[in-house]
Amino acid sequence: MKIAVCVKHVPEGSSRIDPGSKRLDRSGEGALNHFDANAVEEALRLKGDGDAEVVVVSLGPAKAADSLRKALAMGADRAVLVSDDAAAGSDLVATSKLLAKALERENTDIVLFGQQASDSDGAVLWAAVAERLQRPVVSQASELSVSDGTLHVKRQTEFGYDIIEAPLPAVVAVSDAINEPRYPSLKGIMGAKKKPFDTLSLADIGVDAAEAGEQGSKTQVLGLGEPPARGDARKIEDDGNAAQQIVDFLAEKRLV
């Protein structure tokens, strides 16, 4: 069995939009999206002591390799990074196409995603990739097992749980309640340096530059603006009679 895990390198700390490019500023430090760590852990659990292969796949700049190496240190067998300047600014549509093309090369039985990315919180990329691959997809998986070529999923919903079966190959987005991701050991960190790591260009995955980046995207940011003012706001400094000032303000607004 071959399992692919799609992971994302996300900015650490608070996110900001670059007013020039109108895109998320990714110039600072980054890390493995913590929701994707659950997907990596689940892939390793499914592999167990068997002969399955776990490959982690990502789309991003060269420094996204740091997040892939963390996944390798956790126990993944191989990493694939699609990195090309022409892919910068890809929206959901373009990103799903590039990932699907990279995954087609791998011919995997299962593709795992985290439920969402902490920098965008879209929670739809896995569905778009599954559509392009023409595979069944299950989201919010809180339990996952495979037997006789069939995927068995306990899906978490706001009303309880769904029990779902799907034939392989399939795509699954796991919830962050499915497991507790392991911390990479020192042995794992050292071993990750020797594991296969492929960096692919758009040409390598058979995608023209016009199909990626802003050219290949179907959405466009037209402008950015500050949040609207709150209107008639009044700041009260506590000099000993703040409570009375609040009461007076509410009385003025006929709220008391």
DSSP 33: -
Query: To the nearest whole number, what is the mean pLDDT of the chain?
Result: 91
CA distance 245 to 238: 9
**What mean pLDDT comes out for the span 184-201?**
96
For residue 163, give the amino acid letter: I
pLDDT the model gives residue 5: 98
Domain-embedded: residue 256: no
Domain-embedded: residue 229: no
CA distance 151 to 222: 43
Task: Report the number of distinct structural domains present in the chain.
Answer: 1
Domain-embedded: residue 55: yes
Domain-embedded: residue 182: yes
Handedness of CA 239, 241, 243, 245 (dihedral sign): negative
Q: What percent of the chain has pLDDT over 70?
A: 99
Strand, coil or helix: what is 2? strand
Domain-embedded: residue 52: yes
Question: What CATH number does the domain containing 114 carry?
Answer: 3.40.50.620
**What mean pLDDT comes out for the span 20-42?**
86
**What mean pLDDT comes out for the span 99-110?**
96
**What mean pLDDT comes out for the span 246-254?**
86
pLDDT the model gives residue 36: 96
CA distance 154 to 165: 9
pLDDT at 14 over 70: no
DSSP 108: -
**What mean pLDDT comes out for the span 11-40?**
82
**What mean pLDDT comes out for the span 1-5?**
96
CA distance 144 to 45: 10
Q: pLDDT, tens digit, for every residue of 195-217?
A: 999 999 999 999 999 999 989 99
Domain-embedded: residue 36: yes
Residue 132's domain comprises 2-211
Question: What pTM, to 2 d.p., does this model score?
Answer: 0.84
pLDDT the model gives residue 203: 97
Domain-embedded: residue 248: no
pLDDT the model gives residue 207: 95
**What mean pLDDT comes out for the span 225-247?**
81
CA distance 118 to 171: 20
Q: pLDDT, tens digit, for every residue of 115-133?
A: 998 887 788 999 999 999 9
pLDDT the model gives residue 17: 77
Domain-embedded: residue 247: no
